[in-house]
Structure 1
């Protein structure tokens, strides 16, 4: 990634989270992951209808 156009502050925090996630954010992400993976078989491949 070219970093010449980023400020020193932007380069320093690149790839880092802005802070700790809230309980609501964690709950939302957990629900998304469960929905995402609930349709998969043991091989990791998607199952069909």
Structure 2
């Protein structure tokens, strides 16, 4: 399976944001959700 997608909750900060960066760097399609607005663009 080449096209992998992951949904990360709490993606705006802390562990969630680090997890988003990790998956994105490894080529995954990332859907990040959080109840707070995102401060900076994701990779």
* TM-score range for the pair, normalised by the shorter chain length: 0.3 to 0.5
Q: Say which one has the larger Rg.
A: 1
TM-score by length of 2: 0.33
**Bigger share in helix:** 1
- Which of the pair has the greater relative contact order for Cα pairs under 8 Å at 6+ separation? 2
Structure ranking higher in strand proportion: 2
Q: TM-score, normalised by structure 1?
A: 0.30
